[in-house]
Amino acid sequence: MSISLAQKYDAPVPRYTSYPTAPHFQELPDAEIYGAWLHQLDPAQSLSLYLHVPFCREMCWYCGCNTKISKKDGPIADYANALKAEIRTLVKALPDRFTVSHVHWGGGTPSILAADDFTEIMSMIDRHFDYTENAERAIEIDPRTLDATVVKAMVEGGINRASLGVQDFNPQVQKAINRVQSFDVTKAAVDILRDNGITNLNFDLMYGLPRQTVQDVRKTVELSHSLEPDRIALFGYAHVPWMKKHMRLIHDEDLPDTGARISQAKEAADALLDLGYTQIGLDHFARPGDEMAEALKKGELNRNFQGYTTDGSEILLGIGASSIGKLPTGYVQNTPSIPEYQRRVLNNGFAVQKGILVSTEDKMRREIIEKLMCDLYVDLEEILVRYDRPLDGLQVEIQALGPHAEDGLIEIDGLKIAVRESGRFLVRTICAVFDTYLGKGPGRHSKAV
């Protein structure tokens, strides 16, 4: 992809980890609506659990997550009690015992929980749910705060995959984002995890960071590869200071422009491909034979709030402040306010604040967008037929994709759309053509590249 094309299509668009996207969720007048939706779930369907821990020891200035800095353990212990309370309320609302395929701990820094609290919460899940064969239990980790006690709790809790935040190994870049983390610290975390049997490891890297260069990105890829992670996520830094005030600490003049971002992303991708990784969708890479690489090969790759995933569950229950759940009826999101979240769940209630009903039209467009994001290909005819829609029902969108085709980003063959390699980094702008919510309401997004 040329820099000129990147600049042409580098518009603010969603990341499409859901559809409709979170900015279009609406205030729910009654949190008990969620209880009704839960009661309607089919126990024959497996589900996934996402648990959010919105605490860190210090703020990384690039972070777009919902998190709070806490140097003390007391607030974190109080929050852990709230998580337990929400799980109890959730279990009571479900119509029967369910089977879980994925458990994902995100944050913030989930490994900041006290070992006893983490073990107890995982034990609660074990008592109230069954697991599918080869169920994944994953956790996001800050290598700087990992110790043997926490790792022991993870092992006792059945954790079998860990995702380590790395971003960039250049000390100057680390200083510019307020996250100083040496290669040795990262290696020590990798070693202690593997020594304790947690061998499925993901690394999170970033491009587009302040003071970052193409050489920095390649060096970080090479150093990361030396630690042999199974998967690498390569995210573009989303500078949204209007949403996250701490991002104002990053100086605009230190940020690479669109051309530099493209060069960094391409350099990292080329380096990972040279090292034998399989490129997955927009920004993930996996070793051949990894479950995610196999899912891509079989056309079974999915996308949810954690990004690309092997999780095919239609039901994702979010637990914790700001967490988002996906149900056949629609999406729900807990209040992001930690005090308000704790108040509600400790009073045996739900903490849902926002949500949106999902129509059949939404589901159809969600499938189109997910196929493009995951497979870089979609057969619109197959989807239109399955949703009992006329075959000319998406002609406006196909015509809108004309410029993308003329610029060589996609190929259009009747109702089949294939994203070319030159359009991979701009796939979000291609998906946006099918987004009927975009441009309506208050939602603001980061740029596509």
**Same domain (yes/no): 12, 44:** no
**Same domain (yes/no): 7, 139:** no
Give the separation between CA 400 and CA 218, rounded to whole angstroms: 36
**In the prediction, which pLDDT does 59 show?**
92
- Specify the residue for token string 């996001």: 140
Give the separation between CA 374 and CA 83, rounded to whole angstroms: 32
Give the separation between CA 172 and CA 269, rounded to whole angstroms: 22
**Same domain (yes/no): 309, 404:** no
**Same domain (yes/no): 378, 263:** no
- Tens-digit pLDDT profile for residues 163-213: 999 999 999 999 999 999 999 999 999 999 999 999 999 999 999 999 999
Cite the DSSP H helix spans in 12-73.
Answer: 32-39
Among 297, 328, 357, residue at a domain's last position: 357
Among 339, 357, 375, residue at a domain's last position: 357
**In the prediction, which pLDDT does 65 show?**
85
Tally the domains of the chain. Answer: 2
User: Which of 54-58, 122-126, 420-424: highest mean pLDDT?
Assistant: 122-126
CATH number at residue 401: 1.10.10.920
**In the prediction, which pLDDT does 381 show?**
98
User: Per-residue pLDDT for 55 more than 80?
Assistant: yes
**Same domain (yes/no): 298, 445:** no
**In the prediction, which pLDDT does 242 show?**
86
**Same domain (yes/no): 290, 386:** no
**In the prediction, which pLDDT does 6 show?**
73
- For 379, the domain range is 1-19+359-449
**Same domain (yes/no): 276, 416:** no
Give the separation between CA 161 and CA 255, rounded to whole angstroms: 33
**Same domain (yes/no): 312, 421:** no
Confidence grade of residue 442 (pLDDT, cut at 50, 70, 90): low
For range 291-303, the mean pLDDT: 95
Mean pLDDT score across all residues of the chain: 94
Among 307, 334, 357, residue at a domain's last position: 357
**Same domain (yes/no): 239, 385:** no
User: Per-residue pLDDT for 449 more than 70?
Assistant: no
Task: Look at residues 372, 277, 261, 197 and name the one whose alpha carbon lies nearest to residue 6.
Answer: 261
Question: Both tokens of residue 273?
Answer: 């491909």
CATH number at residue 67: 3.80.30.20
**Same domain (yes/no): 44, 163:** yes
**In the prediction, which pLDDT does 445 show?**
52
**Same domain (yes/no): 188, 210:** yes
DSSP notation for 172-224? HHHHHTT----HHHHHHHHHHHHHTT--EEEEEEEES-TT--HHHHHHHHHHH
Instruction: Write out the H or E segment, with its range, that includes residue 124.
Output: helix 115-128
- Tens-digit pLDDT profile for residues 395-408: 999 999 999 999 99
**Same domain (yes/no): 334, 435:** no
